[in-house]
Chain A
């Protein structure tokens, strides 16, 4: 069995993954260790962790695989500058030193980075470079439960490719069709993220969360859709797109959009970050979300047409657009839709390793037709009781240790029922952007105040942002219109009709905040303005402890679901270690913290009112 290390680095979301044969031993993002969100740094810590988890040294690896082809990317850069010249001089002057200094010598960068991890003999290193979209495709298809499947990858850009359709069969992947830079649905969505005042490459989620505040019935929304489709993007029948580059700056400049042209087209200037959000911002967010959904659906239809498969595997940053995913699943174009939980570039590290194993080394693939091979995406580090005790001693924590897990879940379920907010930390950290019950903040979804409280007093983030539920897999249909499991929180579906409350007739005349606080369902805190929710189905087989907690809450309340949001504050990577969790707990208004079998009550901690003492300043995202 081949022992392979996959790496993604130097752009955003650096990560490492280690596979032995078919088995994914470990995978983690570097940001969790360095505490710098989306870090592009070489993933020294993540590699160290992966090797430790596997009990391997660098010299024992059969291959080290980087997730894209740097020279092909360089060719794209040069050809782009050449095509657009003399425009783009400033961008050229910024990009070329980076390449001449570092990225053209990527092998050296990797060798130097590996030296930081441990000693090794360079002659033993077999360094491989699969294409970016092949890494994405492999990250989704190879761990999937399908022997054969259509594959759709969509992101900003890799080397040249911005979207691809392929077919996976056994241990092979064949790319059948590609869309190339500068025409990119990912870059289009990111351009709107930028224009609406959110941070490029991290604010896309905010844009998606803002879209349901748009009025789908308003003339303005329809006009925005028309303007986008008539001026900015030409959508072809096969889902490929053509972007009018006169509206963009990303190919030649140092920002995403040509703001003058956009403000003339849409009738308002770019929103300044943190400025007040107006209804026209929401309507534009809805418009681009709807255009994106149209493109994704058309691409999926094309994938169906040319592969004839009943299955679809998806990856790439755009596959994290769970609203589009939900629409795709509801359309029933494919019987089964599988999405890699780390669909962004971090997952490229895993895909690169798997591509090397199956395609380069030709290793056969064992397909588990009931479950995927992602182990619930719980692929990161866990911490022993000894390590937790050391942390307790270091911070002088006051805690109760439970020998009985059922007693612990009983107590926590009681606290949840009374409106407390819990930091929930257990077992191995999740790989990918979502917290799935091992590094989560949880609360009672029925509680009307919870959405506001968690946003403003726990996460210190924008008040409009929605929350997602973790629901017992077997109870999901009782709360949501959902047919397929959604273990990775990548599917947005409507809540069940019986849960909905009647909206007032003047609903769309209300301000966005009045609409937000209008009661919409009996699970108000996870019901978004359009009656949708980003669902995580919790399965006993992949996370028995978390399932047990929610089940205990159900026994008390009849509700087998809780709010689940990532364990962090705005701008902070999700917590990794028990210390990260304790520090985050102490710097917010969380009421209780649970680390495995240890329970910490806020008011029992020393100096618990002094939040500032524990606060770390993170760069706003």
Chain B
């Protein structure tokens, strides 16, 4: 919950309201992807994310 609160504060501070629906959908899709996802992409790309 703390993370979501921080996120909402961040959106308000940056006035980046366009992020809100995207993040919501991402959270939903993301939860699905988490189960099949892997983060092992080095070493071909700089650690951008």
- Point out residues on A near B: beta carbons under 8 Å: 11-12, 40, 71-73, 75, 77-78, 82, 93-101, 103-108, 156-157, 186-187, 190, 194, 199-202, 249-251, 253-256
**Which partner residue on chain B sits nearest A69 by CB separation?**
B10
Interface residues of B in 23-49 (CB under 8 A from A): 23, 26-27, 29-31, 33-34, 37-39, 41-49
Q: Which residues of A contact B10 (CB under 8 A)?
A: 71-72, 75
New A-B contacts (11) at CB < 8 Å, excluding given A96-B30, A249-B45: A78-B26, A94-B49, A96-B37, A99-B49, A100-B26, A105-B3, A186-B46, A250-B48, A254-B41, A254-B44, A254-B45
Bound: A157/B27 CA distance, A: 25
Q: Which residues of A contact B47 (CB under 8 A)?
A: 11-12, 40, 201
Bound: A156/B48 CA distance, A: 8
B44 near A94 (CB under 8 angstroms)?
Answer: no
B22 near A78 (CB under 8 angstroms)?
Answer: yes
B6 → chain A closest CB, angstroms: 7
Bound: A199/B45 CA distance, A: 9
A107 near B30 (CB under 8 angstroms)?
Answer: no
B46 near A100 (CB under 8 angstroms)?
Answer: no
> What are 13 contact pairs spanning A and B, CB under 8 A?
A71-B6, A71-B7, A72-B14, A73-B49, A75-B16, A82-B22, A97-B37, A98-B49, A99-B49, A107-B3, A190-B46, A200-B42, A201-B46
**Which partner residue on chain B sits nearest A97 by CB separation?**
B37
A101 near B37 (CB under 8 angstroms)?
Answer: yes
B41 near A94 (CB under 8 angstroms)?
Answer: yes
**Which partner residue on chain B sits nearest A249 by CB separation?**
B45
B38 → chain A closest CB, angstroms: 8
A132 → chain B closest CB, angstroms: 12
Bound: A97/B23 CA distance, A: 12
B46 near A187 (CB under 8 angstroms)?
Answer: yes
Most buried by A among B23, B27, B46: B46
B36 → chain A closest CB, angstroms: 8
Interface residues on B, range: 20 to 34
Q: Which residues of A contact B41 (CB under 8 A)?
A: 94, 254
Bound: A125/B42 CA distance, A: 33
A157 → chain B closest CB, angstroms: 6
Q: Which residues of A contact B48 (CB under 8 A)?
A: 77, 156-157, 250-251
A340 → chain B closest CB, angstroms: 20
Q: Is the interface of B mostly helix, strand, loop or mixed?
A: helix
> Which of A12, A75, A256 meets B44, CB within 8 Å?
A256
Bound: A40/B47 CA distance, A: 10
Q: Which residues of B contact A255 (CB under 8 A)?
A: 44-45
Bound: A217/B32 CA distance, A: 57
- Given known pairs A75-B14, A78-B19, A108-B3, the reply for A96 and B45 (CB within 8 Å) is no
Q: Which residues of A contact B42 (CB under 8 A)?
A: 200-201
**Which partner residue on chain B sits nearest A317 by CB separation?**
B46
Q: Which residues of B contact A108 (CB under 8 A)?
A: 2-3
A205 → chain B closest CB, angstroms: 15
Q: Top 6 nearest A-B pairs by Cβ distance?
A: A100-B30, A97-B37, A95-B49, A255-B44, A71-B10, A11-B47
Q: Which residues of A contact B49 (CB under 8 A)?
A: 73, 77, 94-95, 98-99, 103
Q: Which residues of B contact A199 (CB under 8 A)?
A: 43
Q: Which residues of B contact A256 (CB under 8 A)?
A: 44-46
A100 near B31 (CB under 8 angstroms)?
Answer: yes
A94 near B46 (CB under 8 angstroms)?
Answer: no
B33 near A75 (CB under 8 angstroms)?
Answer: no
Q: Which residues of A contact B46 (CB under 8 A)?
A: 156-157, 186-187, 190, 200-201, 250, 256
A94 near B3 (CB under 8 angstroms)?
Answer: no
B12 → chain A closest CB, angstroms: 12
Q: Which residues of A contact B22 (CB under 8 A)?
A: 78, 82
Bound: A78/B46 CA distance, A: 17
Bound: A42/B2 CA distance, A: 20
A96 near B6 (CB under 8 angstroms)?
Answer: no
Bound: A251/B46 CA distance, A: 10
Bound: A201/B44 CA distance, A: 9
Bound: A12/B43 CA distance, A: 11
Q: Which residues of B contact A190 (CB under 8 A)?
A: 46
B45 near A250 (CB under 8 angstroms)?
Answer: yes
> Which of B26, B29, B30, B45 meets A200, CB within 8 Å?
B45
B31 near A98 (CB under 8 angstroms)?
Answer: no
Bound: A194/B23 CA distance, A: 32
B3 near A104 (CB under 8 angstroms)?
Answer: yes
Bound: A72/B47 CA distance, A: 16
A537 → chain B closest CB, angstroms: 32
A270 → chain B closest CB, angstroms: 11
A99 near B30 (CB under 8 angstroms)?
Answer: yes
B40 → chain A closest CB, angstroms: 9
B44 near A93 (CB under 8 angstroms)?
Answer: no
Bound: A108/B39 CA distance, A: 19
B37 near A94 (CB under 8 angstroms)?
Answer: yes
Bound: A105/B7 CA distance, A: 10
B18 → chain A closest CB, angstroms: 9
> Which of A11, A93, A157, A202 meets B37, CB within 8 Å?
A93
Q: Which residues of B contact A253 (CB under 8 A)?
A: 45
**Which partner residue on chain B sits nearest A190 by CB separation?**
B46
- Given known pairs A98-B49, A190-B46, the reply for A104 and B7 (CB within 8 Å) is yes
A107 near B6 (CB under 8 angstroms)?
Answer: yes
Q: Which residues of B contact A40 (CB under 8 A)?
A: 47
- Given known pairs A75-B16, A201-B43, A254-B45, the reply for A96 and B3 (CB within 8 Å) is no
A473 → chain B closest CB, angstroms: 36
Bound: A542/B22 CA distance, A: 53
> Which of A12, A98, A104, A187 meets B39, CB within 8 Å?
A98
Q: Which residues of A contact B34 (CB under 8 A)?
A: 97, 100-101
